[in-house]
Structure 1
Amino acid sequence: MKSIIKNRVQILVHISVWLLLYGLTFYPVLNVMRPIPSDVFPKLNVIIVLFYFNYFYLVPEYLLKKSVLFYFVVSLGLLIVSTLLLNHFYEPRFPGRFFMDREGVRGFGVFPYYRSFVSLGIPYVISAILRMYVEWKRNETLRLSVEKESIKSELQFLKAQLNPHFLFNTLNTIYALSVKKSPDTSEAIVDLSELMRYMIYEADKDLVPLNKELDYIKSYIQLQRLRLSDSENVSLKITGEDRGRAVPPLLFISFIENAFKYGTDYKGKTYVKITLTITDVSIYLNVKNKIGIFREPTKNSGIGLENIGNQLELIYPGLHHLEVDNDGKNYEVSLTIYQKQSSL
């Protein structure tokens, strides 16, 4: 439907341009009630024929396909032949001597040919420029569409990697509770079901309400508290108005998950401080954890953080600031996302 409307608009634009050209051509003559020169109609018709022959055939078939020399030879030949025919049938000829043209200007016998050649050549060149611009615009639109689809596919791929990674870690949490025969196991399963519901029904969207993302984070932290033997130093502080704001789903969870994964010391105490500040122009996340028990890096370690970094580059190019600080004792992530989110 959009393409049909677009084509109709282009047709109307072309018709309007030619009507304007004819109007500007005939108005000075009709305004003073002079006879219309015999060559005006043929010349305008030849201009239109050359314009669209060049626009629809020569430019796309030769110029845009890099047959530049052939295109220029054919174009020059067309213009010369058209000029000769017009002047042969409609222009007075004065070979080899001076003449007085319609405007009373003295010139050589070749001047009418030169004038016709220029009047035909200018629209011809404009048609080539216009067709090249249309093709460039079409290719640019196609490129942006392909790029958008590529980004969307890559984001879906990143989420597909992220979700199983998170699920495996959470199942390990529930497993640890079940091994200890903790009465909190059933509550942990309920929390996990809520998290999975969010991941199934919301995580495939481009944007989700910020308050839903925050509820997801709160559920995740509650699930982690059930696992920990000492969660006294686990805190979440959220300030600002989340109403009407939207973010990509699962945007913050990898940083929080990573903090819980490595924030437990050798005594079993966990230190994780999470601060999320919402302003009119930005969302600021700060996650800080003590570096606990050393763990040998595995093949899949850091997948979540690497993916979220790639996701930020794709969604917020130039609109985010990510800073990671590791002094050997504390690990701190600071992420600022500047206003881009749509309202929901």
Structure 2
Amino acid sequence: MVKLLVKNRVQILVHISIWMLLYGFAFYPVVNNAQRIPSDLLPKLVAIIALFYINYFYLVPALLLKKNVLFYIMVSLVLLMCSVMVLHHMYEPIIPDNAFFGPGPRRNFGYTPIYRSFISFGIPYVISAILRLYVEWKRNENLRLSVEKESIKSELQLLKAQLNPHFLFNTLNTIYALSVKKSPDTSQAIVDLSELMRYMLYEADKDLVPLNKELDYIKSYIQLQRLRLSDSENVSLKITGEDRGRAVPPLLFISFIENAFKYGTDYKGKTYVKITLTITDESIYLNVKNKIGIFREPSKNSGIGLENIRNQLELIYPALHELKVDNDGNNYEVSLTIYQLKQGL
């Protein structure tokens, strides 16, 4: 409602400005030279206003916006010519029969040549068409941006919907492995999972979350992974920089970390995963490196999370991120830099 009022107010001010300018040009010579007001000036201005809004509200929407350009031009020329001729006939000069040989003829000071009248009518008429075309273009552009924004939002929700079940499936496998081994850490793993799911349920549907919450989520995830690993000596997480007052999209980094744990265990059961997060005033940098397990069979669904996060980055940070992936056959490394990190909530 407020936006509509502001929009209408702006349009009204634009129209008032146009007519003040037009009337200023029309009356300036009269006032500046202390001349009599031509008798046809006021009727001409009234006719110009009428033509302006007939064109603005009816002809442009009915013809020009519907691509009937030729018909619109023909109708406009006929309308302008008829208006000019009517005013010209009403205010043409009165010239007696002896105009060339007798005393000076009586003339109507409001007389204006037809071509000048046509120009004075035509310029505001064209302005009205341009103004209406701009208003329609602006309205369509706002509508397009709104639809695009909703489309991006829907796509992001779809990506998150795909990511969450994928993550849950992998985590349940971890708890299952602990339960099979009758590990005393099984109950703690369930508690950790409940904390992770609480975050996913109550935070992941937001556009942005505080960076410190996202980091807590990552720490809990890594702790959960440590519980299932037979050798986690080479698993490390290093975070530097100030995380307060910053915000990121939820679940932004987890796919890279999840992928590292999934493929970072070799045939001896040793896991090598190094995670580094560096936070600065201008950016956040994530580096995830893992060794590639020799006998691990790649799954056709293994790239779901990574593909989703690529799409998410393109949607949210189309020109404000750098993502590099290196694979030399022995080590897999992901480096992600996000610039102009958003301020916290």
TM, length-normalised to structure 2: 0.92
Change (3 A) 1:151 1:177: same
1:133-282 mapped onto 2 (5 Å cutoff): 133-282=134-283
Q: How many residues align?
A: 336
* Shift in Å, 1:86: 1.0
Distance 1:314 1:93 in 2: 73
* CA distance, structure 1, for counterparts of residue 299 and residue 235 of structure 2: 26
Write the distance in 1 (CA, Å) between the matches of 2:295 and 2:136.
Answer: 58
1:137 shift after superposition? 1.0
> Helix, strand or coil: the match of 1:4?
helix
* Distance of aligned partners of 1:32 and 1:291 in 2 relative to their CA distance in 1, 3 Å threshold: same
**Identity percentage of aligned residues:** 83
**1:77-135: CA deviation from partner (whole Å, max 9, x where unpaired):** 011111101111123277xx9999x9x9xxxx9x7000000000001111111111111
> Is the 1:39–1:91 Cα contact (8 Å) retained in structure 2?
no
1:54 match: 55
**Structure 1: how far apart are the matches of 2:158 and 2:321?**
21
CA contact (8 A) 2:214 2:251 kept: yes
Instruction: Report if the CA contact (8 A) 2:241-2:280 is conserved.
Output: yes
Q: Could you tell me which residue of structure 2 aligns to residue 311 of structure 1? A: 312
Shift of 1:138: 1.0
Deviation at 1:9, TM superposition (A): 2.8
Query: 1:10-43 CA deviation, whole Å, 9 max, x = no partner?
Result: 1233134323432442244245543211111111
Cα RMSD for the two superposed structures: 2.2
Change (3 A) 1:93 1:83: farther
Letter in 2 for 1:171: L
Deviations 1:269-295 (A, max 9, x none): 000000011111111100000001433
Is the alpha carbon distance of 1:135 and 1:324 closer, same or farther for their aligned partners in structure 2, counting shifts above 3 Å?
same
What is the DSSP-based 3-state SS (H/G/I as helix, E as strand, rest coil) of the residue aligned with 1:37? coil
Other structure's SS at 2:74 match: helix
Contact 2:277 2:284 in 1 (8 A): yes
Match of 1:15 in 2: 16
Query: 245-254 or 10-19: which moved more?
Result: 10-19
How far apart, CA to CA, are the structure 1 residues paired with 2:39 and 2:136? 37
C-alpha distance in 2 between matches for 1:14 and 1:82: 22
1:248 CA displacement: 0.4
TM-score with structure 1 setting the length: 0.93
Q: Secondary structure at the match of 1:189?
A: helix
Measure how far apart 1:61 and its partner are.
1.0
Counterpart residue number, 1:44: 45
Contact 1:322 1:336 in 2 (8 A): yes
SS in 1 for 2:11: helix
Q: Secondary structure at the match of 1:187?
A: helix
2: CA distance between counterparts of 1:3 and 1:205?
28
Deviations 1:308-335 (A, max 9, x none): 0000010110111101000110000001
- What code does the residue aligned with 2:41 have? V
Q: Could you say if the C-alpha distance between residues 151 and 93 of structure 1 is closer, same or farther in structure 2, counting changes exceeding 3 Å?
A: farther
Amino acid at match of 1:261: K
One-letter code of the match for 1:135? E
Q: Verify the 8 A CA contact 2:247 2:341 in the aligned structure 1.
A: no
Check the 8 A contact 1:281/1:339 in 2, yes or no: yes
Alignment of 1:15-164 (within 5 A): 15-92=16-93, 112-164=113-165
Q: Distance in 2 between matches of 1:246 and 1:8?
A: 36
Q: Give ranges in structure 1 of 5+ residues lacking alignment.
A: none
Secondary structure, aligned partner of 1:82: helix
Whole-Å Cα distance in 2 between the matches of residues 312 and 303 of structure 1?
A: 14
Give SS of 2:171's match: helix
What's the CA shift string for 1:216-242, capped at 9, x where partnerless?
Answer: 000000000011011000000001111
* One-letter amino acid of the counterpart of residue 53, structure 1: I
CA distance in 1, matches of 2:324, 2:293: 21
- Report the more deviating stretch, 185-194 or 23-32: 23-32
Give the match's secondary structure for 1:234.
strand
Unaligned runs of 5+ in 2: none
Counterparts of 1:315 and 1:337, CA distance in 2: 10
| Higher alpha-carbon deviation: 285-294 or 162-171 | 285-294
